[in-house]
Amino acid sequence: MSPSMQDASFGTMDRKGEYVNGVSGINDHSDFDPSAPPPFRIADIRAAIPKHCWVKNPWRSMSYVFRDVSVVFALGAAAVYLNSWFFWPLYWLAQGTMFWAIFVLGHDCGHGSFSDDPILNNVVGHILHSSILVPYHGWRISHRTHHQNQGNVEKDESWVPLPENIYKNLDISTRFLRFTLPFPLFAFPLYLWYRSPGKEGSHFNPYSNLFTPQERKLAMTSTACWTVTVILLAYLSFAIGPAQMFKLYGVPYSEWSHLRGGLTTVDRDYGLFNNIHHDIGTHVIHHLFPQIPHYHLVEATKTAKAVIGKYYREPKKSGPIPFHLIKTLVTSLRQDHYVSNTGDIVFYQTDPQLFQLLSPGKSG
């Protein structure tokens, strides 16, 4: 089975070629066939991107690390100093946002777009990702698989559509939890431990089938760093109290998992969060060319659109707060349940009975 139409470059569509995840439709192109190969090559897109967009500046990259880490500590200090139930909810949202910013910088280290120095990338990546309980090499390796097989139902690693046979073998409660808010928003830690349905292994186990024998030591190193962080968090819980630690770290951790869960593989406008999250909303070009530093993605996207043409869907413009993405997420959870087991190009299908089965008077 080949790619679904949730390809990381071109997004989720229905059978008519209309995009249904909150981006501009293409129904005005009556001759557009979303399942046909695009009339351009990836080399054409690469050639359209200015040469300086490929240049990695480690000093500039480190400046974003210092900026984000400084904000994280400043927010924590403010929360401890004020210790007010009026301020805590604001702190949780702000710190969860910053945890996601930290994740994106570690993500750039994993792609090698942070700098041309692998040692610098790995050291910074381990520090950043371990601080938010992500095993750096484990996630880096599985994310590389995702980029190499984006949208492929059988080989993709994350955001992969469930084939119909796997979906229908899930018990009804698992199906309901998977597609009902807020449960999918907290799925990332479970994914790190158990991967996606239908896949075996763990990002923490160096002998998982995620890793080749040559990669096992890398996975061990990252798991060791993760363990050190857990021990440190446990020590701090005893030092300042578990309730205070939960407020300072536990709630923001769940918030950043929430933010990550809302991401998809098409471009998004996150309003005032675009800069805070290092323009991760420019996801199309990032997926095609993960070597480009995040601070060049906006420019690279603008120049590449001339080549991509109607295959690029302009993201819906956001206000300062991207409330429109809530509707996008809910719509996707209501409609995008599984894909067919057969076919070279498959589309998301809806299980019309999913939410009826748990209604009063219904049974599974």
Cα–Cα distance, 155 to 148 (Å, whole number): 9
- pTM for the complete prediction? 0.76
Q: What pLDDT sits at residue 279? A: 77
Q: What pLDDT sits at residue 221? A: 95
Beta pairing partners, 6 = 12
Q: Is 315 helix (H, G, I), strand (E, B) or coil?
A: strand
Q: What pLDDT sits at residue 129? A: 95
Q: What pLDDT sits at residue 158? A: 67
Non-local CB neighbours of 13 within 8 Å, separated by 6+ positions: 5, 19, 20, 34, 347
In which residue ranges of the chain is pLDDT below 70?
1-36, 149-159, 181-183, 185, 197-198, 255-265, 343-344, 355-364
Q: What pLDDT sits at residue 21? A: 46
Non-local CB neighbours of 73 within 8 Å, separated by 6+ positions: none
Contact (Cβ atoms closer than 8 angstroms) between residue 283 and residue 268: yes
Q: What is the pLDDT of residues 243-283, one digit of tens each?
A: 999 999 999 987 655 333 223 347 777 777 777 778 777 77
Number of residues that this document lists for the chain:
364
Contact (Cβ atoms closer than 8 angstroms) between residue 266 and residue 283: yes
C-alpha R_g of the chain: 21
Amino acid at site 203: H
Q: Is 176 helix (H, G, I), strand (E, B) or coil?
A: helix
